[in-house]
Amino acid sequence: MQIIENSKVKEKVYVEKLENGLTVMIIPKKGVQKKYVIWGTNYGSNDSKFIVPGEEQETEVPKGVAHFLEHKMFEQENGVNSLDALTALGVEANAYTTNDHTAYLFECTENFYPALDELMDYVQNPYFTDENVEKEKGIIGQEIMMYDDYPDWRVYLNTLEAMYHEHPVKLDITGTIETISKIDKDVLYKCYNTFYNPSNMAMVVCGDFEPEQLLEEIKKRLIPKEANGEIKRIYPEEKADIVKDKVEQAMDVSQPLFTIGIKDKVADTKERVRKHIAVEILLNMIIGKSSKLYKELYEDALLFVTPSLDYEFARGYAHILITGQSPEPEKVYEKFKQRVAEMKNSSIDSKEFNRIKKRIYGGYVKEYNDTADIARMFLADFFKEINSFDYLEEMTTINEQYVEQVLKEVFDDKKMIISVIKKA
């Protein structure tokens, strides 16, 4: 087992790549009651066009298969729903699908091994029939309609649609009622057999464990399966420019909702972490809770709560999202652009830069207090080809010059958009 240690947070991660290609990461937390396990596949809603290992023909499946598959995985041939079985053991279980991965998880203080039996059983034994697939279409159809009525979801999706011409990140993770109507059991089995191969998966476990002993327990529960070759994922060519700079939709909201989006290009693997940190520092300097701009907007009654600040990136896309509520979103947007221009024309305030850098570093360290945060972070970063410890290590390399460079390259007026949900 490879041991990667980080002295800054006094944590170790034990990493083993098994013969079947599965990567297992174990983060021991001595004396901690909570145990958390997450098993994920490097397969999300963006992966609807691919070449199966060993085949030459391109496969294209309807949008929404990854999410549909996640829903169906809990259903077992003996009629038991694994989510119910896990709840009966007194553990908190769940699953989720993102643009780039799907994950199955549980958290517990007791019954860890019986719960691990259940988790590893249902993830390795899919059971799809014509009847249970048809039934699920109705359930997911309702979920799609429900999300369509959520202003928070609409402002987010409208932002992506305004930024991206072709990349599937702009599409709803759940698909549409039309696309899911084309899903059948053969499509589900094909995607399962392609993407749920151990070589395309990773498991992260965090809690009070002896790593070698736990690894043996995981191996015992694995069904013999050989690693398959590389899955060739096919994404359309994405233009660098945005689709449109403004999108509006009227919905039933008490106050207009907005997202400012900035389209970016994906950094090289080595540069991803550094760029992510720099963007986080800049967002906090520009419009974070302690920023001059936020104070102004708050005093002018244009913002009452700090906007959420996000930098999202995966295969083939990267963007910034600033989301909040304001009686006049366009004014917030104009003032945001003005502040960016001011910062580009002057040098970075050293005192503010160092203060925010320290605060963000403190936030990274704090994530290591919680077993769930640690496990989810290591899994998501692993699929982005990042070791989570890199954020702590790279923080020391971020200086004002680098942040100024990222400000000029990323915060480009021509790549900015605003999405608004106004009162109906």
Q: Which residues are catalytic?
A: 70
**How is 210-242 classified by DSSP, letter by letter?**
-HHHHHHHHHHTPPP-------EE------SS-
What is the C-alpha to C-alpha distance for residues 273 and 171, in angstroms, rounded to an integer? 26
- Which residue carries 């580009």 as its tokens? 344
Report how far apart, in Å, the C-alpha atoms of 378 and of each of 7, 111, 123, 367, 390 are: 17, 24, 20, 11, 11
What is the C-alpha to C-alpha distance for residues 399 and 377, in angstroms, rounded to an integer? 25
Asked if 371 and 32 touch (Cβ cutoff 8 Å), the reply is yes
17 phi/psi in degrees, rounded to 5: -100, 115
Asked if 309 and 322 touch (Cβ cutoff 8 Å), the reply is yes
What is the C-alpha to C-alpha distance for residues 362 and 184, in angstroms, rounded to an integer? 48
- Which residue carries 């974070």 as its tokens? 288
Radius of gyration for the chain, computed over Cα atoms and rounded to the nearest angstrom: 23
- What six digits make up the tokens of 94? 């769940």
213's CB contacts (< 8 A; 6+ apart) are none
**How is 12-60 classified by DSSP, letter by letter?**
EEEEEE-TTS-EEEEEE-TT---EEEEEEES--TT--EEE-TT--S-EE
Q: Other CB atoms closer than 10 Å to residue 124's CB: what's the count?
A: 15
